Amino acid sequence: MDGKSLFITFEGIDGTGKSTQVAILAERLRAFGFACVETREPGGTVVAEKIRELLKSIRAIRWSAEVEILLLTAARRDHVDQIIVPALKSGKIVICDRYLDSTRIYQGLSDSKIRAVIEDIHERIIGISPDLTFILDLSPCLALERIRGRGIDDRYFESYGDKIELLRQGFLDLAREHPERCLVVDASLPAAEIADIVYGEARKRCE
């Protein structure tokens, strides 16, 4: 089906089920004939996946927000050039697990000067913003329970400590700042229920 191109992102703290919802949404849209590209950040291209590995490997050390922003921007620019823009130009729906809002929150939350740098870099070097963003909202307690349930190393999550609640609130604030594109979804609901809400909203934007 030839559709209107659409750029959808999923955001939220770790453990909210974003990756699951990306996969379900893509599958449901494809079943109705929409061409979809599923992707993620940091990552999505060979170079950006290398940068993802680098960022993940240094998690225990934690570089400065500035260094992380530069690495994330390099990864994002490559991702935008090679995957996101070509897919949108050919009328596809791009569904991305994390994007700029994650940088705004993870790197920029606690420092308004850094947040301004993120906005500036985005405007000058990246340029493209999502049409629709699902913010999956969950209490840090439940999120941590899910991460542990998946057998994933939770040291990084735990290293944020009390900051996780601030990150969560940061995402909710972003949703209030950008009501035209952001929809907050209660991530404590069963996955199938979340998928229905997400699919309904996405379809409205595909018409």
**Which residues are at the interface with ligand TMP (CB under 6 A)?**
14, 40-42, 72, 97-98, 102-103, 106-107
- Residue with Cβ nearer ligand TMP (21 or 107): 107
CB within 8 Å of 65: residues ≥ 6 apart: 107, 108, 111, 114
Task: List b or e across 131-140, with b for residues whose CB sees 16 or more CB atoms inside 10 angstroms.
Answer: bbbbbbbbeb
Nearest residue to 17 (alpha-carbon basis) of 202, 207, 196, 194: 194
Cβ at position 91, least distance to ligand TMP in Å? 25
- The distance of closest approach from Cβ of residue 205 to ligand TMP in the complex, given in angstroms and rounded to an integer, is 22
Closer Cβ to ligand TMP, 153 or 193, answer by number: 153
The distance from CA 55 to its chain's CA centroid, rounded to whole angstroms, is: 16
Q: 93-97 and 6-11: which strand pairing?
A: parallel
Smaller CB distance to ligand TMP: residue 34 or 44? Answer: 44
Measured CA to CA in angstroms, residue 56 lies from 92, 94, 174 at distances of 30, 24, 25
- Taking the complex as a whole, how short is the minimal distance between the CB of residue 11 and ligand TMP, in angstroms? 9
Closest by Cα among 34, 14, 6 to 133:
6
Q: What is the DSSP letter of 44?
A: S
For the CB of residue 102, give the shortest distance to ligand TMP in the complex, in Å: 4
- Contact, 140 vs 82, CB < 8 A? no
Q: Which is nearer to ligand TMP, 63 or 199 (CB)?
A: 63
Q: Minimum Å distance from CB 200 to ligand TMP? A: 24
Quick one: 42 or 170, whose CB is closer to ligand TMP?
42
Q: What is the dihedral of CA 195, 20, 171, 46, to 10 degrees?
A: -130
**In the complex, residue closest to ligand TMP by CB:** 106
Least distance (Å) from ligand TMP to the CB of residue 4? Answer: 25
In the complex with ligand TMP, the residue whose CB is nearer, 34 or 138, is: 138
